[in-house]
Structure 1
Amino acid sequence: MNRLRTRLIGAASLAALALPGLARAQQDAGTPAAAFVNPETVARPTFRATRTNAPIVVDGRLDEAAWKTAPLLTDFVQQLPRTGYPSKFRTEVRVLYDATNLYVSSINHDPEPSRAITVGLERDFVSSNSDIFGLVLDTFLDRRNSFLFLVNPKGAVRDEQTFNDSRTIVEAWDGISRVKTTQQDSSWTVEMVIPLRTLRFDASRDPQNWGINFIRRVRRVNETSYWAPLERQYRLHRMSKAGTVEGLTGLKQGRNLQVKPYVLGGNSQGAQVPNSSLGNRSDIGGDIKYGVTPSLTLDLTYNTDFSQVEVDQQVVNLTRFGILFPERREFFIENSGVFTFGDVQERNYRMGADLRDFTLFNSRQIGLTPDGLPLPIAGGGRLTGRVGKWEVGALNMQTQHGAGSAPAENFGVARLRRNVFGNSDVGIVAANRQATDGSGAYNRTYGVDANIRLLGNLIVNTYLAGSRADTSAADGTAGRLSVGYRGRLWNTSAMYKRVSDDFNPGIGFVNRRGFQQAYGTAGIHARPTLRGIQELNPYVEVDLYHDLDGTPQSHQLRGGFDIAFQPDGELKLEVNDWADRLDRAFSPFPGRSIPVGSYRWRNAKASYTSTQRFPVYGTITAETGEFYNGTNNVLGGSVTWRPRSDFNVEATFQHNDVSLLSGAFAADLVGLRMKYSWSTTLFGSAFVQYNTQTRSRVTNARVAWRWAPLSDVFVVYTERQNTLTNVRNERSVALKVTRMLAF
């Protein structure tokens, strides 16, 4: 094992010495050196806003005279494949505005526009696989938070809300916009209007400036370019690197009042369905959104229902730690970045921990059982936004008595964060979970944190958190200090983390307690002038866990080598050395256990992701080696077939062939998903999964029709079956209609 570790470290060191020269040799002989700009040092672009009093008809034709009065924004710069060089595909952007709307147009030149790739017509399509034009808006010019809109050639829209300079992305945010695309002989055109009531900004400032950037992607050649240039590790919503639109005057937000009622009818049966939800049911409820100030929003919800939300995806978990499933419910996802506290992960940094390890606020604790089944929510409210220099968030929710012994509970969270040193921040948080059935049970957590960016690419993340509950005599604590650097070439970080035995965030999630963790990694991202190679990334990682008294607990030593091909596709190779001390036995599979003891094993893993430019693409992963006191050979992957822009099928599989002293077993997970879009406002999806580890089969089918702005009709069918006992845990069908009323 020591020989293997020495070879890995030696190989990475040699690569670190040799590859910087290749990275510096990237200027292509056929391109003049003067054409290259350094995205890290070039000045951020600006333009003057143009106001229009003439009506703009959103039809994708750009035949209004007002468009010719707006400045032409072009000269996009590649991020991929040749970072810093002019885009080969010209993009012409113009921006107009009036008192109540922002208008954006883009002529996307392409000698073969019919070859532009569109992966779906549904809202929030998978943008990474598609040709796109997009923009991002930082309406408070704080260089941290944004609203994002992406459009594909068929006119489908993906919108997001982002926080903390790309650290937190809220994909479920929905904004009102109208978009029309058209195709010409040598281009495709986007024309869109974004009502200002969709955004949040300080209308009392006049004039005002906003942060802004634009993206263009030509997927078949994997060219991604930006108006304000970005290095490869950044995304469009890196607002500290964005440009600026200046001179916006006379903007009006309206009343900033939105009312969204719903009506629901359905039927639920099954062994795990709460008694209150069994049989036929009908219900009403709704949400209210009100702009208390231009920068502070109040959200209220009554008789909250999430029947339209897709059910959790099944996973195979052979570890002894829990898994954090993602939040999918719209009310909790929107503005969720305000409440983020825990093991924050900086994009494209390897940091040794992320929010799946610890988050102090996990909204899935509210209104859901540990198995993901719904508990009734009476209602609640959320206040988010800015007060002066402070970013604030407050949430209060009340649940009702649910299935089994789940009591009625009140959940409260308060968050304050202040920007310092430009795009850094410090903050505090407090959370309370209180039973309201008279038992007096409670859990309270609190914390302070700081996320500091220095010299552009050097980051420091730290927090100190504590918890207290009525059932514990001792206070629990958790703390972390992480430092990382990611530049054009180097990617390195180190972390120390400590979590006490009694730390228990009642409205959060922590997957491990009673340990100290030391983590370190070093790697490079070289860009050699090798045919067919876009980037080489060798790296090493050391992850050590000890008891609180310093006794070794477990470790993972990893050596990896990632190869990004040109124009796309990726190969990842890694070898691992593992160790784990078990103080109590655990069962990775029903009827199979690993006894108390100390274990050490090694394995190797390889995965390849093919180019996504073709109608059939996918990922294949193979892993082989030891596993505790036995072996585990893994084969998994996915295959997607996209014959048309409005239809695709994805098959996924994972096979674990495990042999232990207690016996052999196969842990398998297979799934099939289909999506079909009749238009950009009417689409359906269905998936089925079978998991041999949990002995379960899950089926979920949905049809969604957006019949008016932010107003939907949903038809949803869900079934969960125990394949061992053949007991149906749930079978439900629901029809839900919502209507957005904006004032």
Structure 2
Amino acid sequence: MTKIRCLFVVLTLLACLVSTAQRKSLQAISVTENITVDGILDEEIWKTAPIGSDFVMFAPDNGKLVDETKKTNVQVVYNDDAVYIAATMYDNEPQKILKEVTQRDLFGTSEHFGVFINGYNDGQQDFRFFVSAANVQMDCVFTDQQGEDYTWDAIWESNVKITDFGWVAELKIPYAWLRFSEYPVQTWGINFYREFRRDRQQYTWNFIDAKIANESMQSGYLEGIQYIEPPTRLFFIPYSSFYYEDTARGAEQKFKIGMDIKYGISDAFTLDAILVPDFGQTRFDNVILNLGPFEQQFNENRPFFTEGTELFNKGNLLYTRRIGGTPSTYPVTGDNETVTEYPSAINLINAVKVSGRTKKGLGIGVLNAITERTSAVVLDTVSGIRRKVEVEPMANYNVLVVDQRFNQNSSVSLVNTNVTRGGSYRDANVSAAVFDLNTKKNTYNASGNFKYSYINELGNNPDYDGFSAALSLGETSGKFRYRVAGSYVSKDYDNNDLGINFLTNYHTLEAYGSYRILNPTKRFNTFTFYTEWYSEFQNTTGRMQQGTLNMYVNSTSRKNHYFGYGVNIRPFKTYDFYESLTEGRFVELPENYRGWVYFSSNYNYKFALDIQPALTLTSEKDRLNFEFFISPRYRVSNRVMLIYSYDYLYNKNNRGRIAFDGDDIIFARRDRDTHTHTIESKFAINNRMTVNLLARYYWSYAKNLAYEELQPNGKLAPSDYNQYLNVNFNSWNVDLSYSWWFAPGSQLSFLYRNNALSDKRNLGYIDKNLGDNFTDLFRGDLNNVFSVSIRYFLDYNNVKGWF
């Protein structure tokens, strides 16, 4: 019996080695009969199509073969228009299959099936299509450098059926949404994915070794597709929108009509254009009380600037909120003049982008946008005369990226961004060379960049230029991984016309190391320990701006609860050269020590909880920060979800620049309290129709306790400055939306938006009562917006048949 057991173990290990070392192959066969995508595999072709099986676990027990009770069989057939995938998925407890209904691209608490397709079979880029057991679709573009980009949306069909043995998924993916060569005989890279959500287990058909960073290179092969031609990829998305806005200034109605166009220039390149842009239904910005020296950075919510931007993010030179953002100048006013109207944004006239990649790995991206001339209004308070002052001319924003991939896992890129403004306004140009190199086995990585900026002021100010450079070397595979890196940024490096950059005139040195388990232990499904030393020095003086040792752990328990904890230690005094807003002046910062803990319970449970407390202490005993975040969530049913979040931040004896008094730089020693309440709820009528609520109340105040004067040595000394400069800031936003995907790629949406903002400064007294602040907010300028928008997707290949 012992010998038999030993033989069985040996054979099992050999089976694992064979299954995980080789790239599998699946044969696709041509079909002429009509296939109805209904989740019922009753067509004759499914009885004879070859089957792919023997899935291998990706996480948490990397490399483990699938249990027979959870086996998955996949089949692929094709015709002149599309590729069809059928997945028969077994489950010994089908009544427990999780199937939460969510919006598109949200996985939620559901079982999932996915297919990863690389038409060039070059290990560089996958088009990934997922469907849940509730028939909710998710799709993305995946690269190892950028990960999964779910802003990309394709138009494809799917259907699922829950059965007495598990569930079935059927997919139809038109060729128009894939990229492949024009060879008569095709070999694609392909992998299939299945997630057992209730066990938090992920399986793939072709084994993906977690010790190797590159996932795309570990796909299998799809063979047998022959003599197909890429269709004409021309899509029109006309839209019309109506807005009714009611504010303290009165009511206003607006009607918009426009169109988005997508055109496949070739099998590799796509043109996207928006005519008469409409972003009125994008998510609101989470505005905060910003008392620091830098602007607040906002997320990009406009679909045109989020979809398919993998190429344009090379080098991190693009911050698309600059396009259509606030004006670059402010009116110069004379005696008795004040600015009464200053635009918060600049209208976008149109935008175009062309992007794609050839079969030899050459990626090219071009983005161009034009914004309109914008003016502010200045009032003479004595004469009552108003005049318009141009604060932004017509401007052209342009991005060019050329990216060459090679060896299936490396790339070299050239990037250029340019802003050209009409008239006597500054123009800006930034160029960069970027590289990301990996060894053949994806064991070691070398990456870095060199960037050069040139600013043409076109006025009395002189032109200037600057540069930055960075280099990183590291090991990227196995249980132990490490990285060492350094960078240098010159004083006059400036990419802020089309990018965003807060710091200049410094250099850095850093080292990073990590350890992770690749298979579960008795206590953990996953466990990773990170440690990093980061140091930053000002170029001119050599003083340390940052010197931090970070250590933290991320882990999941055997019951799939997440635990994270760590410490951030700054054991030296450092120097801030930016808070004073004065060149050559700095403020000394004390040593500090921060610790935090994060817990997130398994979202499979109806009730789940996220919680994170954090505490920061400094060498100045009267100075500390306390943070507390808690977010309970309750899944009422597969269709209804409620999430509440509360984020609290208390800064005791925070120091910050507050004013200039002649040549003196005045700092305040202040207490800050910040409360953020957020409510999210979802009601999914079905997988195409949802009602969503998002509400956020933000309240932050700063009470100045004493004023101090910045000394030449960076220390702060008591000051007799006695102005009342307390701040009380309140912000409220609520979005109630209804969305119906009534046809493929076509959407009808209604949105009610209510928002208000109160920013009170120079106060002698702050009301710290929550109810009073919340009530007072609605006595101000409350905005109410109702809008309805309809977008219809038209495929040229279908439209031409109408005529």
TM-score by length of 2: 0.80
Match for residue 130 of structure 1? 110
Determine which of 158, 183, 201 is the counterpart of 2:138. Answer: 158
Which stretches in structure 1 are left out of the alignment for 5+ residues? 1-27, 343-358, 588-593
1:294 counterpart (260, 267, 279):
267
Q: Is the contact between residue 428 and residue 453 of structure 2 (CA under 8 Å) also seen in structure 1?
A: yes
Is residue 441 of structure 2 the alignment partner of residue 453 of structure 1?
A: no
Letter in 1 for 2:575: R
Distance (Å, rounded) in 2 between the aligned partners of 1:730 and 1:380:
29
Q: Does 1:611 align with 2:590?
A: no
Query: 1:35 Cα shift?
Result: 4.9
The letter for the 2-side match of 1:293 is: S
- Give, in angstroms, the shift of residue 453 of structure 1: 1.2
Q: Which amino acid aligns with 1:577?
A: I
Among 401, 417, 423, the alignment partner of 2:373 is: 401
Aligned-residue offset at 1:31: 11
Could you tell me which residue of structure 2 aligns to residue 504 of structure 1? 494
Summarize the Cα distance change of 1:664–1:709 in structure 2 as closer, same or farther, 3 Å threshold.
Answer: same
Contact persistence 1:144–1:238 (CA under 8 A) = no
Alignment partner for residue 532 of structure 1, among 516, 523, 526?
Answer: 523
Q: Is 2:352 the partner of 1:381?
A: yes
Match of 1:469 in 2: 455
Cα 1:527/1:327, change in 2 over 3 Å? same
Q: Which runs of 5 or more structure 2 residues have no equivalent in the other structure?
A: 1-7, 328-341, 377-390, 655-668, 701-728, 761-776, 797-803
Matches within 5 A, 1:130-279: 130-163=110-143, 165=144, 167-202=146-181, 204-232=182-210, 238-269=215-246, 279=252
1:79–1:230 Cα contact (<8 Å) kept: yes
Equivalent in the alignment of 1:86? 65
* Structure 1 partner of 2:737: 702
Summarize the Cα distance change of 1:609–1:475 in structure 2 as closer, same or farther, 3 Å threshold: same
737, 741, 750: which one pairs with 1:715?
Answer: 750
Shift of 1:322: 5.0
1:733 maps to what in 2? 786
Please state how far the C-alpha of 1:597 moved relative to its aligned partner. 2.1
Q: Deviations over 1:106-165 (max 9, x none)?
A: 1111112221223333211235x43111111112222111211111111010111223x3
CA–CA separation in structure 2 for the residues paired with 1:574 and 1:695: 32
Matches within 5 A, 1:242-641: 242-269=219-246, 279-313=252-286, 322=295, 324-342=297-315, 359-369=316-326, 375-387=346-358, 389=360, 390-402=362-374, 404=376, 405-436=391-422, 438-454=423-439, 455-471=441-457, 473-505=463-495, 506-526=497-517, 530-549=521-540, 550-578=542-570, 580-583=574-577, 585=579, 596-626=587-617, 629=620, 630-641=623-634
Deviations, residues 708-738 of structure 1 (Å, cap 9, x unaligned): 1111112122233114553337432221111
User: Which letter maps to 2:323?
Assistant: I
Go from structure 1 to structure 2 and tell me whether the alpha carbon gap of 1:659 and 1:628 turns closer, same or farther (over 3 Å shift): farther
Deviation at 1:544, TM superposition (A): 0.4
Secondary structure of 2:305's match?
helix
Q: How far apart, CA to CA, are the structure 2 residues paired with 1:374 and 1:684? A: 29
Paired residues of 1:399 and 1:410 also in contact (CA < 8 A): yes
Counterpart of 1:659 in 2: which secondary structure?
strand
Looking at structure 1, the residues matched to 195 and 746 of structure 2 have their Cα atoms a distance apart, in angstroms, of 30
Question: Which whole-Å CA distance do the structure 2 matches of 1:529 and 1:197 have between them?
Answer: 41
Shift in CA distance, 315/582, structure 1 to aligned 2, threshold 3 Å = same
Cα distance in 1 between the residues matched to 2:374 and 2:246: 16
* Counterparts in 2 of 1:412 and 1:625: CA distance versus 1, 3 Å: closer
Q: How is 1:99-110 mapped onto 2 (pairs within 5 angstroms)? A: 99-110=80-91
Paired residues, number: 684
Q: Which amino acid aligns with 1:709?
A: P
Summarize deviations over 1:667-722 as a string: whole Å, max 9, x none.
12110101111111111211111222352112122211111111111212223311
1:475 alignment partner, SS class? strand
- The CA deviation at 1:474 is 2.3
User: What secondary structure sits across from 2:681 in the alignment?
Assistant: strand
Relative to structure 1, is the Cα distance of residues 29 and 130 closer, same or farther in structure 2, using a 3 angstrom cutoff? farther
Q: Structure 1's 315 and 54: CA in aligned 2 closer, same or farther, altered over 3 A? A: farther
In the alignment, the residues of structure 2 paired with residue 37 and residue 657 of structure 1 have an alpha-carbon distance, to the nearest angstrom, of: 54
CA contact 2:61–2:518 (8 Å) conserved in 1: no
Counterpart CA distance in 1 for 2:600 and 2:291 is: 24
More deviation, 722-731/332-341: 722-731
Residue type matched to 1:213 in 2?
A: N
2:132 counterpart letter in structure 1 = N
* Matched residue, 1:690: 697
CA distance 1:105–1:528, shift in 2 (3 Å): closer
* Contact 2:212–2:443, Cα closer than 8 Å, also in 1: no
Matching residue within 680, 683, 702 for 2:687: 680
What code does the residue aligned with 2:483 have? S
Assess if the C-alpha contact under 8 Å between 2:61 and 2:519 holds in 1: no
1:31 and 1:611, CA in 2 relative to 1: closer, same or farther beyond 3 A? farther
State the percentage of identical aligned residues: 22
Please, what is the CA RMSD of the aligned residues? 2.8
Secondary structure of the equivalent of 2:198? helix
Q: CA deviation at 1:181?
A: 0.8
2:523 and 2:558 in contact (8 A); partners too: yes
- Report if aligned partners of 2:120, 2:359 keep a CA contact under 8 Å in 1: no
Distance 1:701 1:293 in 2: 41
CA distance in structure 1 between the aligned counterparts of 2:307 and 2:520, rounded to whole angstroms: 43
Q: Distance in 2 between matches of 1:32 and 1:108?
A: 23
Do the aligned partners of residues 372 and 126 (structure 1) sit closer, same or farther apart at CA in structure 2, a change above 3 Å counting? farther
Cα distance in structure 2, aligned partners of 1:331 and 1:644: 34
How far does residue 586 in structure 1 lie from its aligned partner after superposition? 6.7
User: Any idea what SS the aligned residue of 1:67 has?
Assistant: helix
Q: Quote the residue 2:710 is aligned against.
A: none
